[in-house]
Amino acid sequence: MSECFRFRCIDDSCGQEFSIRKKLYQCPGCRDLLDIVYDFSRTDVDSLKESFSRRRLSNRPLDVSGVWRYRELLPFEAGDLDRVVTMGEGNNPILDAPRCAEYVGLDRLRVKNLGWNPSGSFKDYGMTVAVSQAIRLGAQVVACASTGNTSASMAAYCARAGLRSVVFLPEGQIAFGKLAQALDYGALTLQIQGSFDVAMKLVQELAAETDLYLMNSINPFRLEGQKTVILELLDQLGWQCPDRIVVPGGNLGNSSSYGKVLMELKELGMIDRIPRITIIQAEGADPLYRTLVTSSQELVPVNDAWTLASAIKIGQPISWKKAVRALQFSDGWCDEVTEQEIADAKAILGRDGIGCEPASATTVAGLKRLLDASGEERPEVTIDPGENVVAILTGHQLKDPDYTVNYHLDSLYEHAAYKNRIVDKHGKIRSTYANAPVQVPPDKEQIVRLLGI
């Protein structure tokens, strides 16, 4: 049995360790979350960066993968690697977004679009690792609750692996593209009458009571895979840390994993400074923001979480403690943005030729809000326009084309219920940057006149 990697309870006063060969999601002692901890004493740090770059020249599937290329920081030993399920995930470029930079008020802004993954979201970084662990454990059936992308990713990797998968979806609340994926990849798709938080609780209880292996980000293997987003990003930047990394916050697995890997890289001496992690939530689904502004020691949940950015419509994020740890370690912050701000930011990203789903656009919206208010109004988050910032875009534009088309047709509505939590009416989102289609008869003269050429 391998002892190079262990589960460890994140509560320092408990700190119990367990074998990773056990199906655990929470500390059996105190119910707190688990980390996977490493014994890096045998890791040859000096040669790591060089082997990472050398693997880019290789055609071996494990080297081609933007996750497994960084396998020294993953909880798998050489002997376990031949059963890994990979689809060449990762390898997403970092792009300049000059129109977004101007829009938010930065000299320069770069984005890393994780929507360009096999199943169209960053979830693939974690899923390749979690499905590989399911196989190592000999799991028969795996399951997750999902706002859509976790299920799409899980279903795809399970189809590759020939593993049965069950997805629990909040009925009528996920983007169509994501539902289509789960169906096509052959997952048993259960539509639960309730919110994501209800579906999450249900599947967690079932995983505790039955043999179902849980694939949500409470499963530490998911977060281990998602760490490689940062490894790949730093590799692409020649291991020069940006000043700030901005990421949307839903269940808070992604931001948590970024914090964890930065701690590990610091410990290994592979980086000498820490980029500040800035998490952005939607105003109607902002439990972490509420927790921070009230300096609460416990999560302040949002009972009727609501946003059109369905990927982050989560009121009780599982990984909130790890996210708080990530913010503390990196001197970061969590903020919130309105539906209007998200919609406009997404349109500006589009103008840079970069598509994403609404949840991803919170990053650009959040930067704009923070830069607009920098200084006196918001001393806790002063962003200098000269900062070196990378925004993480999490999901593909075509996951939710309804949203985009409705924005450009000026028919995007926000659900006002979440604002006063009583009145169920709709408010209109202004289509500030609309690019509506133009109807013309099949007439060349008219078209030439329209084009002004």
Ligand X SMILES: *Cc1c(COP(=O)(O)O)cnc(C)c1O
User: Which sign does the torsion angle of CA 254, 259, 265, 270 carry?
Assistant: positive
Picked from Zn ion, ligand X, none, the partner binding residue 252 (CB below 5 to 8 A depending on kind) is: ligand X
Burial (CB count within 10 angstroms: exposed 0-12, middle 13-18, buried 19+), residue 138: exposed
Picked from ligand X, Zn ion, none, the partner binding residue 9 (CB below 5 to 8 A depending on kind) is: Zn ion
- Does 29 interact with Zn ion (rule: CB under 5 A)? yes
Q: How far is the CB of 295 from Zn ion (least distance, A)?
A: 24
- Does 253 interact with ligand X (rule: CB under 6 A)? yes
Site for ligand X in 195-224 (CB under 6 A): 217
Q: How far is the CB of 103 from ligand X (least distance, A)?
A: 20
Q: Which amino acid is at 433?
A: Y
Greatest C-alpha distance within the chain: 77
- Does 9 interact with Zn ion (rule: CB under 5 A)? yes
Q: How far is the CB of 217 from ligand X (least distance, A)?
A: 6
- Does 431 interact with ligand X (rule: CB under 6 A)? no
Distance in angstroms (rounded) separating the CA atoms of residues 20 and 39: 13
Q: Which of 2, 14, 108, 176 binds Zn ion (CB under 5 A)?
A: 14
Instruction: Considering the complex, state which of residue 27 and residue 106 has its C-beta at the smaller distance from Zn ion.
Output: 27
- Does 165 interact with ligand X (rule: CB under 6 A)? no
In this structure, are residues 97 and 349 in contact, taking their beta carbons and an 8 Å threshold? yes
Q: Which of 135, 233, 311, 391 binds ligand X (CB under 6 A)?
A: 311
Helix ranges (H only) for 287-426 are: 287-293, 320-330, 339-351, 358-373, 401-408, 417-420
Q: How far is the CB of 30 from Zn ion (least distance, A)?
A: 3
Q: Report DSSP state, residue 93.
A: P
Picked from Zn ion, ligand X, none, the partner binding residue 29 (CB below 5 to 8 A depending on kind) is: Zn ion
Going through 59-145 in order, the beta strands assigned E by DSSP cover 94-96, 109-113, 141-145
Distance in angstroms (rounded) separating the CA atoms of residues 335 and 247: 11
Q: How far is the CB of 24 from Zn ion (least distance, A)?
A: 11
- Does 394 interact with ligand X (rule: CB under 6 A)? yes
- Does 360 interact with ligand X (rule: CB under 6 A)? yes
Q: Which amino acid is at 111?
A: V
Instruction: Considering the complex, state which of residue 64 and residue 308 has its C-beta at the smaller distance from ligand X.
Output: 308
Q: How far is the CB of 31 from Zn ion (least distance, A)?
A: 7
Annotate 193-234 with DSSP letters as a single string: SS-HHHHHHHHHHHHHHSSPEE-STTSHHHHHHHTHHHHHHH
What are the tokens at 189?
């798709």
Using alpha carbons, list the distances in angstroms from residue 141 to 138, 318, 325: 9, 22, 32
Map residue 414 onto helix, strand or coil: strand
Query: Using CB under 5 A, which of the segments 6-14, 158-166, 219-227, 319-327 binds Zn ion?
Result: 6-14
Site for ligand X in 121-140 (CB under 6 A): 121, 123
Q: Which residues have CB under 8 Å from 6's CB, separation 6+?
A: 17, 18, 19, 20, 36, 37
How many residues bind Zn ion, per CB under 5 A? Answer: 7
Q: How far is the CB of 341 from ligand X (least distance, A)?
A: 16
- Does 241 interact with Zn ion (rule: CB under 5 A)? no
Query: Using CB under 6 A, which of the segments 3-11, 194-202, 270-278, 352-360 binds ligand X?
Result: 352-360
Question: Which residue minimizes CB distance to ligand X?
Answer: 395
| CA end-to-end distance (rounded Å), the chain | 73
- Does 397 interact with ligand X (rule: CB under 6 A)? no
How many residues bind ligand X, per CB under 6 A? Answer: 18
Q: Which of 27, 163, 212, 342 binds Zn ion (CB under 5 A)?
A: 27
Picked from Zn ion, ligand X, none, the partner binding residue 220 (CB below 5 to 8 A depending on kind) is: none
Instruction: Considering the complex, state which of residue 66 and residue 253 has its C-beta at the smaller distance from ligand X.
Output: 253
Instruction: Considering the complex, state which of residue 9 and residue 127 has its C-beta at the smaller distance from ligand X.
Output: 127
Distance in angstroms (rounded) separating the CA atoms of residues 444 and 451: 10
Q: Which residues have CB under 8 Å from 337's CB, separation 6+?
A: 280, 281, 282, 283, 345, 362, 365, 366, 369
Distance in angstroms (rounded) separating the CA atoms of residues 279 and 294: 16
Provide the binding-site residues for Zn ion, judged by CB under 5 A: 9, 11, 14, 27, 29-30, 32
Binding residues for ligand X, per CB under 6 A?
Answer: 121, 123, 149, 217, 248-254, 311-312, 357, 359-360, 394-395
